[in-house]
C-alpha cells in the first residue's frame, strides 16, 4: 500500500485531484469530515492530511512513502528525501520585503525577521551582507512596522499582505512551488508505484520530473 501525506488545505485538495487522475483514487477523502486518514484498499493507497510544514517530516521518517511539500520547506529544513517532481502548483516566491521607500544602509547590520532563517542566512551570506536574524513564527509583516526588524524574508503570493501593511518587495530570493517528495527506502521498495505516480503526475502537470 502506498502511503501519501498531503498538505491540509486548498492546495492539498487540488493536489489530491491530480493524484486521483494519476490512478490513485480514494473517493472517501472528499467526504466533508474531520477524519485525517483515508484508505482505498482496491487502489492500494492510503492518504493522510497533515500540516503543510510537517509533510516532509512524515516522508523523511517513512510514516509516508510520498508527499507534497513546498520548496520553501525543503530549502529551509533540508529533509533527507528525494525530490521527484515540480508539480507546478502552489506557486509563489520567497522575497525580501521592507516598508515602502526603505533604503539599505550597508554600514549597519541588517535586522531580518523571518520564519525561514536558513534561507535568509544563505541569501545574505551569498551577498556578503552582515545580518541579525530575528526568528518569528508568523505574522512576520508586523516586525518592520514596529521597528523589530529592518526587513522581512517571507512568502509572497498575491502581494496583498504586503500591500495592506505598507510594505513592498525589495528583491526575490527564490521562486517556490509544490514538489512531490519520496522517502528514500520507499523509493527502492515501492519503485513501481512511485514511478507510475511520478510519470502520470508529470504528464498532467507538465512539470519537470
The residue ranges that bind ligand PRP (CB under 6 A) are: 138-141, 154-161
Indicate if the alpha-carbon torsion angle 47, 175, 160, 134 is positive or negative.
Answer: positive
Measured CA to CA in angstroms, residue 198 lies from 54, 146, 186, 204 at distances of 21, 46, 14, 10
Q: How far apart are CA 152 and CA 136, in angstroms?
A: 10
Q: Quick one: 85 or 95, whose CB is closer to ligand PRP?
A: 95
Q: Quick one: 26 or 113, whose CB is closer to ligand PRP?
A: 113
CA atoms in the 13 A half-sphere facing the CB of 28: 15
CB of 53 to ligand PRP, least distance (A): 9
Q: Quick one: 134 or 155, whose CB is closer to ligand PRP?
A: 155
CB of 59 to ligand PRP, least distance (A): 20
Residue 148: DSSP 8-state: S
Q: Quick one: 164 or 192, whose CB is closer to ligand PRP?
A: 164
Q: How far apart are CA 209 and CA 73, in angstroms?
A: 19
CB of 152 to ligand PRP, least distance (A): 9
CB of 50 to ligand PRP, least distance (A): 15
The C-alpha cell that represents 55 in the structure block: 509533510
The C-alpha cell that represents 82 in the structure block: 528525494
Q: How far apart are CA 63 and CA 60, in angstroms?
A: 8
Indicate if the alpha-carbon torsion angle 170, 76, 159, 133 is positive or negative.
Answer: negative
Question: Helices then strands (H, E): number in the chain?
Answer: 8, 11
Q: Estimate the share of the chain in helix, then strand, then coil, as percent rounded to the nearest 5.
A: 35, 30, 35
Q: Quick one: 113 or 197, whose CB is closer to ligand PRP?
A: 113
Q: Quick one: 153 or 201, whose CB is closer to ligand PRP?
A: 153
CB of 115 to ligand PRP, least distance (A): 6
CB of 141 to ligand PRP, least distance (A): 6
Amino acid at each position: 500500500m502506498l502511503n501519501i501525506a498531503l498538505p491540509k488545505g486548498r492546495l492539498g485538495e487540488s493536489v489530491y485531484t491530480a493524484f486521483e487522475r494519476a490512478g490513485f483514487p480514494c473517493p472517501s477523502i472528499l467526504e466533508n469530515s474531520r477524519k485525517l486518514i483515508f484508505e482505498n484498499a482496491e487502489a492500494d493507497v492510503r492518504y493522510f492530511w497533515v500540516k503543510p510544514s510537517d509533510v516532509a517530516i512524515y516522508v523523511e521518517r517513512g510514516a509516508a512513502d510520498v508527499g507534497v511539500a513546498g520548496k520553501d520547506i525543503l530549502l529551509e529544513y533540508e529533509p533527507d528525501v528525494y525530490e521527484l517532481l515540480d508539480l507546478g502548483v502552489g506557486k509563489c516566491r520567497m522575497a525580501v520585503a521592507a516598508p515602502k521607500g526603505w533604503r539599505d544602509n550597508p554600514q549597519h547590520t541588517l535586522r531580518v525577521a523571518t520564519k525561514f532563517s536558513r534561507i535568509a542566512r544563505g541569501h545574505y551570506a551569498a551577498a556578503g551582507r552582515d545580518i541579525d536574524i530575528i526568528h518569528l513564527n508568523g505574522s512576520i509583516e508586523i516586525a518592520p512596522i514596529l521597528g523589530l526588524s529592518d526587513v522581512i524574508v517571507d512568502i509572497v503570493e498575491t502581494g496583498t499582505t504586503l500591500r495592506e501593511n505598507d510594505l513592498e518587495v525589495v528583491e526575490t530570493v527564490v521562486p517556490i512551488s509544490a514538489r512531490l517528495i519520496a522517502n528514500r527506502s520507499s523509493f527502492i521498495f515501492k519503485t513501481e508505484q512511485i514511478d507510475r505516480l511520478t510519470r502520470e503526475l508529470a504528464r498532467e502537470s507538465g512539470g519537470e520530473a
